[in-house]
Amino acid sequence: MSTSLNIGIRMAWRNLWRHKRRTWLTIGAMIFSNLLLVFLISLQFGSYRMMIDNTLKTYTGHLQVQHKEYNDNPKIRNSFQDIVPLADKVRKQLGSAGITAWVAARGVAFAMTSSEQRSYGLQIIGVEPQYEVNVSTLPGLVNKGRYFTDFNAEEIVIGSVLARNLRVDIGDELTLLGSGRDGSFAAGVVIVTGIFDSGNADVDRSMAQLPLGYFQSLFSMGGQGHNIVINAEDLTLVSALQNEVSSILGEREELSLLDWNRLQPGLQQAIQADMASAWFMYIILIVLVAFSVLNTQLMSVLERTREFGIMMALGLKPARLGTLVFTETFIMSSLGLAIGAALGTALAWYLSIVGFTYPGMEEMAGKFNLPDRIYPTLSLLSIFLGPGIVFLCSLLASLYPALRLFFLQPVSAMRAV
Amino acid sequence: MIIAKKSRIPFNTLFTLAWRNLWRNHRRTLIMLSAITIGVWAMIFMTALMRGMVDDMLLNGIRNLPGEVQIHHPGYRDDPSINNSIATPDEALLKALQGPAVKAWTSRVRVPAVISSERDSRGITLLGVEPAGEVQLSFDLDSIIEGRFLKNSDDTGIVIGAKMAERLETRLGKRIVIMSQDPDNNIADRGFRIVGIYKAKLAGLEEMYVYAGIETVQKLLNLKDQVSEIAVTSDDYRHVESWYPHIKEAAGKELQTQPWYEVDTYMGTMLTMMDGFVLVWVVVIFLALSFGLVNTLVMAVFERIREIGLMQALGMRPSMILYQILIESFFLLVIGLLLGNVLAVVTIIPLQDGIDVSVVAKGMEMMGTSSILYPALQLNDVVLANIVVIVLGLLTSILPAWHAASFNPVEALGKD
C-alpha cells in the first residue's frame, strides 16, 4: 500500500511537470490571490482592532454598569445609588478573584458653560480622578496644565478645541449653569486646570470633565452616578469579565451591565458592513482561481484520455486515476498555499513594522478613530483563512475532471486522439 | 530567408480561423468565458454598489453642509461663534449668485445653543433659515412627520427632530426655550412653539439641528441682518470647479469661500479615493483572470504546434500566426465582456429600488450613508472595466501569441 501511494504521488508530480508553463500559471493564480488575501485579511484584522481599541479607549470602555433605562434614554434622572461604593466593591472583588480589570465611576449631566466671552451647551462628565486615568486615554493626553487629582476639587479639564472656542486657558474660570437631578437649579464656578488634545476634533470640541465628588454636589446627585466603566486587559477577555461582574452586581435589579457592542452599536455594524463588502471581493478572487484550476485539470484529463484508457485497460481502477488527478491538484494547491501564504505573510509582516498608508487615509482614519497608518495584525487565522479557502476550492474544482474518469470507456478512450 | 512582400493581411481568413479554433475545444473556451464573465460582472457590480454608497454619502453630506460652496467669516470654521458673522451679500456677490451655474443659494444663522423643555436640556446647533432657500438646498419637506416646516423668515415657530422631541419629552404644539449668547456674551433666550417635527435620514442629525426663522433668530441674538454662512448649490457636486471661482472672486478676500471638498475634507477624499478604488479593483480582478487567459492560450498553441508548423511550411508568415492567436484571444475577451456587461446590468436593474442594509444602519451612519443602498451604474466605470479587460487582455496575449509565431516550422512539424 505504501509503495502504491508513493507511486501515486510520484506519478502526479511527474505529470504536473509535463506542462511546466501551465502548472506554474495555475500555481501563479493561486499565489497571486493568496498573497492578496493574506495581506488584505491581516490589514482588515489590524484596522478593526485599532478602530475598536481607539474608540473604546477614548471614553466608552469595554463594559459599563448603568441604570437599566440609561442606554436608551440617557437622562440625568436615570442614575443609580451609591455609585462610588459599588465601583469600589467591583474593583475589590475582581482584584481578589485575581482578574485584571480597571474600574471607574462616572456621572453625566448637561450644562451651559460660559467663559467671559463665550457660552456653549455641553455634556459634563464627572469622573473619579485616580481611576479615570486607567479606563480612558484622555487624562494622559492633557498637554497643558494637569489632570485634577482631588475628588472634590472645583476644577475642570476640557478639550483643546473647546478651550479655543471658549477663549480660555489654564487658570481661567468657567461658569456652569444647568439643572440638577431633582430639577433644581445647578450653578457653579470651576477653574480650568487642564486641556487635552486627542487629535480628534469632535472629542476635543465636546468633552469636559469634573471630579465626581464636586459633580455630585453641583448637580444634586447625592451619592448617585450614571455609569461604571470596566475595562478588561484585552478585548477577547471581555465576555469572561462580563460574567464575573454580573455575578458581583447580583441583587441590584435596577442595574444593567452592557458590553461595548451595546454601547457603541455603530462600531460593530461598520465592521460588519466592511466585512461583507470585503468578503464579496475575496469570494470573486477565489472563484476565479477555482476556474483556473478547473480549466487546467480538465485540459490535463482530456489530453490524457488515451493514456488513461491504456491504464484502465491494464487494470487500473477509475478510482486510482481519480485519486491521481486529485493528487496533482493537491500538490499544485499546496505549492500555491505555501508560496502565497509565505509571500503574503512577508508583505504583511513588513507592513506591520513600517505601517501601511494610502492617499486619503488620513481623512478616512480621523472618521473612524484610526491613526494615519494601519499596522496589519498577523495571526494564524489571518494567514491561513484566505489561502485555506483557496486550497479547498481548488480541490473542489478538480472534482469534476476527476469524476469524469469514472465514465471513461477504456476501448473508445484508447482510440481518442 | 525570404523577405516578405508587403501584402494585405487576409483578415477575413484570419477571423474565420480564429473563430473556428476557439470552438475546437469548447469546454476550455466555455470555462474561460465563464471566468471572464464572472470577473467582468464583479468589476461592474461591485463598483456600482460602492459608487452608490459614496454618492449617497456625498449627496447626504452636501445636503447637510449644505450646498456645494459655502461662504463664511474666515474665523468661523475654527470658531463657529456668533462673533464670526458676516453681512448679507453685497451687490457684487448678489450678481455672482444670480449667475447661470447657481441653482439656489441661501443664508443661515448657525450658532451653538441650548434647548430646554420642562423636563430636560440639550446642546444643539440652532439654524436660523430662510425657509424657501433652505428647502431648495438642504431641508427635505418629506421629512416632516408632524406639523409643518417654517413658513417664512420671521416665523416664530421652531422645527425639531423626532429624536430630540423624545429626549426632551415634548411634542408638537408645546413650548421649548432656546438659549444662546449674543455678540456681547449676554445670554439670550426665548420661548418657541414647536410647529413641526422632522425625521432625518441619518438619525444623529435629528439630535443636532433645530430650525427657526432667520429673522426671528437675528432678533433674538441682536444680530441685525448679519448671518453665519451663505450656502450655494448648482445641483452637481462633481463640477464645482467651473463656477465656484466666480463666487469666490465676488465674495472678496475678507470672506472665506470654500467648495464642499474643502469644507469637509473627509467627503472630498472619499470621492478621489473611490476613483482609485475602482481602478485597483478592476486591475486586481483582471490580474486574477489573466493567469487563466494566458494558460488557455498557451494550451491552445501547444495543441496546435504541428498545425502551426504546417501552416508556416505552407507559407503563412509568422505575423499571421501572431494575429490569429491575438484574434482568438480578442473573440474570447469580447464575448466574455458582452456577457459580463449584460449580466451586470441584469443584476443591477432589479436593485434600483435600493438594497436594504438597515441591519447595519448604525454602522452605515458612521460612514455617513443611509441604510438603503442604491447601486449607481456609471458609464465611466463600465467603460473603464471594458477598456482594462480588452487592452490588458490583448497585451498579455501577446506573449503566447509571439511564442507561437516564433516556432521553427521543421521542428514544429516533428512534434507528435
Look at B182 and A36; give whichever has higher pLDDT.
A36
Residue B97 and residue B56 share a domain: no
Contact at 8 Å (CB) between B389 and B337? yes
The answer as to whether B219 is a domain residue is yes
Domain boundary among B208, B242, B263: B263
Q: How many other CB atoms are found less than 10 A from the CB of residue A141?
A: 20
Residue B238 and residue B151 share a domain: yes
Residue B273 and residue B259 share a domain: no
Residue B45 and residue B88 share a domain: no
pLDDT at A161 over 50: yes
Which domain range does residue B288 map to? 11-61+268-414
Residue B280 and residue B402 share a domain: yes
pLDDT per position as a tens digit, A47-92: 888 888 888 888 889 999 999 899 888 888 899 989 999 999 999 9
Residue A239 to chain B, least CA–CA distance (Å): 22
pLDDT of residue B1: 43
pLDDT of residue B44: 93
Share above pLDDT 90 across residues of chain A, in percent, rounded to a whole number: 43
The answer as to whether B3 is a domain residue is no
The answer as to whether B191 is a domain residue is yes
Share above pLDDT 90 across residues of chain B, in percent, rounded to a whole number: 35
Residue B208 and residue B287 share a domain: no
The answer as to whether B5 is a domain residue is no
pLDDT per position as a tens digit, B111-154: 988 898 888 888 899 999 999 989 988 888 899 999 999 998 98
Residues 247-276 of B with CB under 8 A from A: 265-266, 268-270, 272-273, 276
Burial A396-411 (b: 16+ CB within 10 A, else e): ebbeebbebbeebebe
Share above pLDDT 70 across residues of chain B, in percent, rounded to a whole number: 98
Q: Can you give the length of chain B in residues? A: 416
CB burial of residue B380 (10 Å; 0-12, 13-18, 19+): exposed
Contact at 8 Å (CB) between B52 and B376? yes
Q: For residue B258, which of B246, B244, B237 has the smallest C-alpha distance? A: B244
The interface predicted TM-score (ipTM) is 0.81
Residue B137 to chain A, least CA–CA distance (Å): 25
**B358 CB near a chain A CB, below 8 Å?**
no
Interface test with B, best of A69, A71, A292 (most B CBs within 10 A): A292
**A275 CB near a chain B CB, below 8 Å?**
no
- The mean pLDDT of chain A is 89
Share above pLDDT 70 across residues of chain A, in percent, rounded to a whole number: 98
Number of domains in chain B: 2
pLDDT of residue A8: 84
**A271 CB near a chain B CB, below 8 Å?**
yes
pLDDT per position as a tens digit, B263-312: 888 888 888 888 888 899 999 999 999 999 998 888 888 888 888 888 88
The answer as to whether B207 is a domain residue is yes
Domain boundary among B209, B239, B263: B263
The answer as to whether B100 is a domain residue is yes
Residue type, A286: I
pLDDT at A29 over 90: yes
- The answer to whether the Cα torsion of B192, A74, A191, A162 is positive or negative is negative
CA-based nearest residue in chain A for residue B37: A288
The partner residue sitting opposite B112, judged by closest CB among A120, A266, A364, is: A120
Residue B75 and residue B112 share a domain: yes
Chain B positions touching A277 (Cβ under 8 A) are 46, 49-50
Residue ranges of alpha helices (H) inside B349-408 are 361-367, 379-405
Predicted structure pTM score: 0.83
pLDDT per position as a tens digit, A307-334: 899 988 998 888 888 999 999 999 999 9
Residues 93-152 of A with CB under 8 A from B: 110, 112, 114, 116-123
- The answer to whether the Cα torsion of A185, A190, A192, A198 is positive or negative is negative
Residue B244 and residue B120 share a domain: yes
- Compute the distance between CA of residue B413 and CA of residue B416 in angstroms, rounded to an integer: 8
Residue B33 and residue B133 share a domain: no
**B152 CB near a chain A CB, below 8 Å?**
no
**A76 CB near a chain B CB, below 8 Å?**
yes
pLDDT per position as a tens digit, B350-380: 888 888 887 777 777 777 777 788 888 889 8
Of A4-8, B273-277, B320-324, the poorest mean pLDDT is in A4-8
**A381 CB near a chain B CB, below 8 Å?**
no
Residues 202-231 of B with CB under 8 A from A: none
Domain boundary among B233, B263, B293: B263
CA-based nearest residue in chain B for residue A74: B167
Residue B51 and residue B106 share a domain: no
pLDDT of residue B355: 84
pLDDT at A157 over 50: yes
**B404 CB near a chain A CB, below 8 Å?**
no
Residue A89 to chain B, least CA–CA distance (Å): 32
pLDDT of residue A190: 94
**B185–A288 CB contact, under 8 Å:** no
pLDDT per position as a tens digit, A104-151: 999 999 888 888 888 888 889 999 999 999 899 888 889 889 999 999
pLDDT at A368 over 80: no
**A280–B28 CB contact, under 8 Å:** no
Interface test with A, best of B115, B279, B291, B298 (most A CBs within 10 A): B291
The answer as to whether B2 is a domain residue is no
Say if residue B66 is preceded by a cis peptide, omega within 30 of 0. yes
pLDDT at B237 over 90: no
What separation in angstroms does the CA of B19 have from each of B25, B328, B406? 11, 6, 22
Average pLDDT over residues A266-290: 89
Chain B positions touching A112 (Cβ under 8 A) are 114, 121, 179, 187
- The mean pLDDT of chain B is 88
CA-based nearest residue in chain B for residue A360: B269
Interface test with A, best of B28, B114, B272, B296 (most A CBs within 10 A): B114
The answer as to whether B6 is a domain residue is no
Residue B161 and residue B110 share a domain: yes
pLDDT of residue B6: 52
- Compute the distance between CA of residue B115 and CA of residue B189 in angstroms, rounded to an integer: 10
Q: In 3-state terms, what secondary structure has residue A154?
A: coil
pLDDT of residue B416: 60
pLDDT at A4 over 70: no
Residue B276 and residue B239 share a domain: no
Contact at 8 Å (CB) between A311 and A48? no
